[in-house]
């Protein structure tokens, strides 16, 4: 989670001037707020997260202590591979996140039967990634989702219409799960070359190789 600061600067003999910072990670935002307070020149200091929720300095200190061990700074890569001969799909997901001061990566895949199209496989891969977020305790956090299917990304964003009933059912399922978990999604369409890891996991699932790993990134 990132935060911006807003505060009013005391100018001698003038009205207070409002300042707003860039989006900062929690530790940097808190340190900046503490230094502004110590300067004696700042008043009406508030912190705002990416969802628009605001806190005072005291509340911010307590918040960061409480969420220190929760997964945050989430980035998800997903990909679905479809095998037309068998109507099976390989689902691949790579998830990067921070927990405390450490950074982790989860690599996972799954084989899914009875698929009809590649687009459906992409939706299933997205939902598969969201279920992993649920399992690791992600709640009320923004999250970046990246995939190489422009059709799926644009439909998830609501920029392109979706006319297929089956895909609409996946859309509803995804939206309901994101709402249930309080996840604020952000989407980015990638080239296939930039989504190689998730693509490989999807292919390995179709080959019968099941993978799940969680590793710390040093």
Given 48, 67, 86, the domain boundary residue is 67
Given 19, 44, 67, the domain boundary residue is 67
Residue with tokens 């969420």: 67
Residues 6+ apart with CB under 8 A from 65: none
Task: Mark whether 17 and 106 lie in a shared domain.
Answer: no
Q: Render pLDDT for 132-158 as a digit per residue (tens, 0 to 9).
A: 999 999 988 899 999 999 999 999 999
Task: Mark whether 112 and 181 lie in a shared domain.
Answer: yes
Chain centre distance of CA 16: 37
Residue 69 has pLDDT above 80, yes or no: no
Q: Render pLDDT for 5-39 as a digit per residue (tens, 0 to 9).
A: 999 988 777 788 899 999 888 888 889 999 988 88
Domain of 137, in residue numbers: 72-217
Chain centre distance of CA 149: 17
Stated pTM of the model: 0.77
* Rounded distance between C-alpha atoms, residue 91 and residue 58, angstroms: 44
Task: Mark whether 55 and 79 lie in a shared domain.
Answer: no
Nearest Cα to Cα of residue 115 among 177, 189, 167, 174: 167
């Amino acid at each position: 989670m990132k935060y911006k600061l807003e505060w009013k600067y005391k100018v001698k003999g003038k009205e207070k001037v409002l300042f707003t910072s860039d989006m900062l990670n929690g530790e940097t935002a808190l340190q900046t707020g503490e230094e502004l307070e110590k300067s004696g020149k700042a008043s009406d200091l508030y912190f705002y997260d990416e969802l628009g929720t605001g806190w005072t300095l005291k509340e911010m200190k307590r918040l960061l202590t409480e969420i220190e061990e929760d997964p945050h700074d989430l980035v998800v890569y997903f990909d679905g591979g479809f095998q037309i001969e068998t109507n099976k799909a390989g689902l691949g997901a790579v998830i990067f996140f921070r927990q405390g001061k450490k950074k982790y990566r989860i690599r996972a895949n799954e084989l899914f039967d009875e698929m009809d199209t590649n687009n459906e496989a992409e939706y299933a891969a997205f939902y598969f990634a969201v279920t992993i977020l649920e399992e690791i305790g992600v709640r009320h956090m923004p999250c970046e989702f990246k995939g190489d299917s422009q059709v799926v990304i644009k439909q998830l964003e609501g920029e392109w219409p979706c006319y297929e009933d089956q895909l609409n059912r996946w859309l509803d399922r995804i939206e309901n799960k994101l709402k249930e978990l309080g996840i604020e999604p952000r989407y980015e369409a990638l080239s296939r070359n930039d989504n190689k890891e998730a693509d490989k996991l999807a292919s390995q699932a179709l080959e019968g190789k099941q993978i799940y790993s969680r590793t710390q990134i040093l």
